[in-house]
Structure formats: structure tokens, C-alpha cells
């Protein structure tokens, strides 16, 4: 691979790379505001200026400038090299570029930073971008000087509502146009533009429109300063208190890679933001996915129930075991869920086959929704393919086939993972002998459960999800189980023990080992415990 020099370091590059893209790929940060690897080049912030050394034997391209001479107390003529924007200049083999090692570059960056801050309000104490703002970071790195302008700054509109999810502060805006380019190039809805000129520039919404396409939160996310803020996160948390877990979006079958930001002091999730993966979602996420983190805390099942009465998890597992004891495999059905991880579904499939001795396995999940050609998939389940794969070897059928078996009396007892039953009318899913539900959220099945067991959400346990392309991706646990919930595979393991069979699932690694294509281990009968948790 060809290389070029950046501060005397050899950097490989691909044909067509710009200096900043090659540096970015090598893990080197060249300061920038307007450049984004997923957007077109604007080259308007000038923060990424670098010095390109002339080839041997050729004179440097210099500019005549006036510089202040402190000793003479006067401006004097000087020469300086013509700096180039790293985001725009294409790399060629053998190019010699100076970035951090050039005094001319350092002075230019300091000047650009000072220009951007001339009219910028000191909103840092109340700004949601504080702690993540490049204006703050680059002031420390490249300027670190007091403001010299004593004139009244230019005032612009503040707290302008752009749409249902975004608020705009024109005084904080550096007019990098990232938001404009994102709407035009990625969201395919050119609803934003720039009006006025010079220091009167500001972003505006097209007349008669509002910022309401399905990717509005990404327009806020690409903003490098605090000009655009999301109403969902606005004034909710300080980023330096938050920690991040590498997760997989649960909003649809695309399986966008994401970060779940949460406060470890109270186990509260505050936002979902994209994690780069060129093979899945690139740099982006849709609004549905970025707001899906709310379900970590909304409509949760956090207490076990027998009928309508809350009880302990241990007592509920005992009651569930009593419901399933002595039930013939022909008369019991097990429902898997495309809303749960492959590990949870695999544990349920093994429970059906090896503990209950049934092949009556059904597949459930959310009904289809709206999709598009960008990221949103019409399948609103994160693990449709993973659920089907977990049931390998069993003749799994859609849940729409279950009501007929219940009506005929062939199936009298149901064990269900998840609360979603697609488009099946709720009354047709009530078995005559008992309904045991392992659910994270309240829904169609939880309202009619004989025994309800609280299952942890994707944020509270590690899990694997297979997206629409068949790519298996791991989602990391952010914090521990909320309430009395436990990972669904652990509830299944505890229930199997109470029924006299041991699936051998003590930890997640045991489930994943069993998921590999190896001969199944023989199950040994054991005495069910009289007390204890789900494990």
C-alpha cells in the first residue's frame, strides 16, 4: 500500500484518500469541525489546515503577509507557506505533510479557533454539549488564550424549535453545515439550509417545513458544538457522569451498532447513539433506534406474579414448575421471541425439547412496520433470524397457528418468551391449563399469564442478535438486572431444575457453548430445590 509522511510518520493510504481521511483511518486526529467521514467535503471551517512541504528542488509556495513585530511595535512584511485544508487535499505517494510539527499550522489553528469564538456565547455551564464540545477541546489544545475582542458580540435567535425533536441555538452555531449536508445526502430530505452571510450566518428550515424526517436526531448528533440539541436529552444529564456500553439497536432487523449511555449511579439509560460499522449502519442511526433506549425503563415487568398478585421470583418459579409438571409434550407449546437474544431463544428451545419433550414450538415478535432504503427495516424485531436459528431441529411454526391448537384442545399449556403476539387476537391465546410467560415488557401475553416471570432487558445482560443480513452481533450488558428480573435463559435454567432436569446453564458461556454444533449433553435428573433464585 502506498504511503505518505505526516509529521515524519509513514501513513498508508488508499487511492482517492484525502489527508484527513488517511490520518483518521490511522487513528490520528487532525483538528476539524466541518469534516465528517460520512459526508461530502465542505472545507469551510479551516481548522484542518496543514503545511504541505514542497518536493525536493522545488520552491515553496509562500504568501506575503503582515505580522506584528513586538520589538518594533509595528507591522512588518513576512512570508508564510500557503496552508492546505487536509479534508480537501488528495494524498499522493511520498507527500510530506506537517500538522502538529508546524509552527505555521499551530498559529493558523489558533487564529481559526479565535475567529469561531469571537461571537460565541459563554453557555458552557448550561450547554448539553459541555464535555463533548470540540470548541472546548480545541481551545485548550490550540488557543488557550483569553478573548481579545471587547465589542458586543453579534446576537442571534436562541432556542428555536426546528421540529418535534430538535432545538437550535444560532449563537452557538459555527455554520459547519454538517446538519445541512446530512439532511441532503443521507436523509434525502434537504430541509435545512444557510441564510445570511458572514457573521450573520445561521441555519434555517425550509419555509412551510419543519425538521421531521426519520433521521432528525442524527442532525443533532453530527453537530460538533452545542447549536443543535435533542429535546429528549436536553438538560437531562451531564456526559461526564455517563458510561457507555457497546450495544445493538433493538428497533428493527438492521441491527445498527450503538452505544448505550447510562448513569452507573442509578442504573438509568439516557441516550442511544451510533457506533461505526461500515458493514451494517455506517455512521448513522434512525430516530426510532436512537429513542428505543427508553424501553429499558418503560412498561417493564420487574416483579413476578401468579395471576394478578405479585410474589417472589422463587415462588413464581415454583408455581410455574407445578403448572408444567406431568403435562404431556403433545399438550404443551413453547413460544420463542424475536425480541429476545439468541441465547434466550436457544435456552427456550432446549427447554421445549429436552425438558418438556415437545415439538410444539412457535415463533413470535412485533408485527411489521414502516421501513426505508436507508437504514429502517420493516421487520421491527432485532433477532428474527437468530430466533429461527435457535429453533433449528424443531418444526417451528408462526404463532398465528397456535390459536387453532388451543381451540381444538390439543394444546392446553403454553410457555412463552416475550409479550408480543404479532396480530393474534389476545383472547385466542388463553390456554385452558396455564400460561407461563417470561417477559421484559407488559403486553398481550403478560395480561393473561397464569405465572409471570420478569426477564431482563438487552441493556441488563449480554446477548447475541442476528440482523436481516444474517450477521450475528453481540450486545454488551450496561448495568445489572432491574427489579427482580433475571436474564431469560437463567429463568429457563431455574425452571428446568425445578422440573427435575438440568440444562447445565450456570452462566452465559454455558449457553453459548451449547449453541455450538456439538452432540447435546445428556441431562441428569436432579431433585428440584425448595428455595432459591432462578439460577
Contact assessment for residue 482 and residue 513, using Cβ atoms and an 8 Å cutoff: no
Cell numbers placing 405: 391448537
Cell numbers placing 384: 428474527
Average pLDDT, the chain: 92
- Grouping H, G, I as helix, E, B as strand and the rest as coil, residue 175 is coil
Distance CA 326, CA 525 (A): 15
Residue 465 pLDDT exceeds 90: yes
Distance CA 244, CA 273 (A): 10
pLDDT score recorded for residue 128: 94
Angle at 168 between CA 162 and CA 174, to 5 degrees: 130
pLDDT score recorded for residue 426: 67
Distance CA 192, CA 182 (A): 9
Is the CA virtual torsion 468, 472, 478, 479 positive or negative? positive
Cell numbers placing 123: 453557555
pLDDT score recorded for residue 144: 83
* Residue partners of 158: CB distance under 8 A and separation at least 6: 169, 170, 171
Integer-rounded Cα Rg, in Å, for the chain is 29
Strands (E), 275-373: 304-306, 309-311, 332-337, 361-364
% residues pLDDT > 90 (the chain)? 84
Mean pLDDT within 293-306: 96
pLDDT score recorded for residue 425: 73
Distance CA 148, CA 257 (A): 44
Distance CA 25, CA 13 (A): 9
Mean pLDDT within 84-90: 96
**How far apart, in Å, are the Cα atoms of 531 and each of 228, 285, 313, 315, 434?**
54, 45, 10, 8, 22
pLDDT score recorded for residue 392: 80
Q: Which residue has the cell 429453533?
A: 391
Q: What is the pLDDT of residues 114-156, one digit of tens each?
A: 999 999 998 999 999 999 999 999 999 988 888 888 889 999 9
Contact assessment for residue 61 and residue 45, using Cβ atoms and an 8 Å cutoff: no
In 3D space, the residue among 230, 240, 213 whose CA is nearest the CA of residue 130 turns out to be 240
Mean pLDDT within 48-72: 88
Confidence at 197, pLDDT banded by 50, 70, 90: very high
pLDDT score recorded for residue 517: 65
pLDDT score recorded for residue 150: 86
Residue 5 pLDDT exceeds 60: yes
Q: What is the pLDDT of residues 29-47, one digit of tens each?
A: 999 999 999 999 999 999 9
Mean pLDDT within 405-428: 85
Mean pLDDT within 354-369: 94
Could you tell me the pTM of the whole model? Answer: 0.90
Contact assessment for residue 217 and residue 240, using Cβ atoms and an 8 Å cutoff: no
Mean pLDDT within 42-58: 92
Burial (CB count within 10 angstroms: exposed 0-12, middle 13-18, buried 19+), residue 115: middle
pLDDT score recorded for residue 332: 96
Mean pLDDT within 260-267: 97
% residues pLDDT > 70 (the chain)? 96
- Grouping H, G, I as helix, E, B as strand and the rest as coil, residue 26 is coil
In 3D space, the residue among 438, 434, 399 whose CA is nearest the CA of residue 414 turns out to be 434
Cell numbers placing 216: 432528525
Confidence at 216, pLDDT banded by 50, 70, 90: very high
Mean pLDDT within 168-182: 97
Amino acid at each position: 500500500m502506498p504511503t505518505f509522511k505526516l509529521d515524519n510518520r509513514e501513513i498508508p493510504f488508499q487511492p482517492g484518500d484525502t489527508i484527513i481521511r488517511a490520518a483518521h483511518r490511522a487513528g490520528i486526529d487532525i483538528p476539524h469541525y466541518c469534516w465528517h467521514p460520512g459526508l461530502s467535503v465542505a472545507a469551510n471551517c479551516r481548522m484542518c489546515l496543514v503545511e504541505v512541504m514542497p518536493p525536493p528542488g522545488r520552491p515553496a509556495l509562500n504568501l506575503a503577509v503582515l505580522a506584528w513585530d513586538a520589538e518594533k511595535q509595528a507591522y512588518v512584511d513576512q512570508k508564510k507557506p500557503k496552508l492546505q485544508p487536509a479534508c480537501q487535499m488528495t494524498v499522493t505517494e511520498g507527500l510530506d505533510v506537517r500538522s502538529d510539527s508546524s509552527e505555521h499550522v499551530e498559529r493558523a489553528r489558533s487564529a481559526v479557533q479565535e475567529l469561531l469564538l469571537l461571537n460565541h456565547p459563554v453557555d458552557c455551564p448550561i450547554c448539553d454539549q459541555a464535555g463533548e464540545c470540540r470548541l472546548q477541546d480545541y481551545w485548550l489544545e490550540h488557543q488557550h488564550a483569553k478573548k481579545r475582542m471587547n465589542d458586543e458580540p453579534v446576537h442571534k435567535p436562541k432556542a428555536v424549535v426546528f421540529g418535534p425533536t430538535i432545538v437550535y441555538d444560532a449563537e452557538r452555531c459555527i455554520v459547519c453545515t454538517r446538519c445541512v449536508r446530512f439532511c441532503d445526502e443521507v436523509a434525502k430530505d434537504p430541509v435545512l439550509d444557510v441564510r445570511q452571510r458572514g457573521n450573520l450566518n445561521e441555519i434555517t428550515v425550509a419555509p412551510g417545513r419543519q425538521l421531521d424526517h426519520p433521521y432528525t436526531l442524527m442532525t443533532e448528533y453530527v453537530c460538533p458544538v452545542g447549536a443543535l440539541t435533542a429535546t429528549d436529552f436536553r438538560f437531562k444529564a451531564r456526559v461526564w457522569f455517563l458510561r457507555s456500553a457497546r450495544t445493538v439497536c433493538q428497533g428493527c432487523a438492521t441491527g445498527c451498532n450503538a452505544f448505550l449511555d447510562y448513569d452507573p449511579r442509578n442504573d438509568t439509560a439516557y441516550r442511544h447513539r451510533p457506533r461505526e460499522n461500515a458493514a451494517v449502519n455506517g455512521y448513522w442511526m434512525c430516530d426510532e433506534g436512537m429513542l428505543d433506549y427508553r424501553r429499558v425503563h418503560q412498561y417493564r415487568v420487574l416483579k413476578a406474579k401468579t395471576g394478578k398478585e405479585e410474589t417472589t421470583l422463587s415462588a413464581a418459579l415454583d408455581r410455574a414448575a407445578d403448572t408444567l409438571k406431568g403435562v404431556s409434550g403433545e399438550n404443551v407449546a413453547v413460544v420463542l421471541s424475536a425480541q429476545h437474544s439468541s441465547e434466550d431463544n436457544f435456552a427456550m428451545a432446549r427447554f421445549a425439547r429436552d425438558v418438556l419433550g415437545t415439538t410444539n414450538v412457535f415463533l413470535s415478535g412485533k408485527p411489521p412496520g414502516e421501513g426505508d432504503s436507508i437504514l429502517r427495516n420493516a421487520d421491527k424485531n432485532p433477532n428474527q433470524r437468530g430466533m429461527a436459528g435457535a429453533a433449528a431441529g424443531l418444526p417451528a411454526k408462526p404463532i398465528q397457528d397456535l390459536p387453532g391448537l388451543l381451540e381444538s384442545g390439543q394444546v392446553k399449556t403454553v410457555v412463552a418468551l416475550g409479550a408480543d403476539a404479532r396480530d393474534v387476537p389476545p383472547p385466542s391465546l388463553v390456554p385452558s391449563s396455564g400460561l407461563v410467560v417470561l417477559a421484559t415488557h407488559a403486553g398481550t401475553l403478560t395480561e393473561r399469564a397464569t405465572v409471570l416471570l420478569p426477564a431482563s432487558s438487552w441493556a441488563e445482560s449480554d446477548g447475541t442478535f442476528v440482523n436481516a443480513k444474517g450477521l450475528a452481533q453481540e450486545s454488551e450488558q450496561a448495568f445489572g438486572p432491574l427489579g427482580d428480573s433475571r436474564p431469560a435463559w437463567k429463568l429457563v435454567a431455574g425452571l428446568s431444575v425445578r422440573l427435575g432436569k438440568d440444562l447445565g446453564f450456570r452462566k452465559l458461556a454455558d449457553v453459548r457453548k451449547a449453541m455450538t454444533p456439538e452432540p447435546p449433553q445428556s441431562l441428569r435428573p436432579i431433585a428440584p430445590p425448595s428455595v432459591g433464585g432462578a439460577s
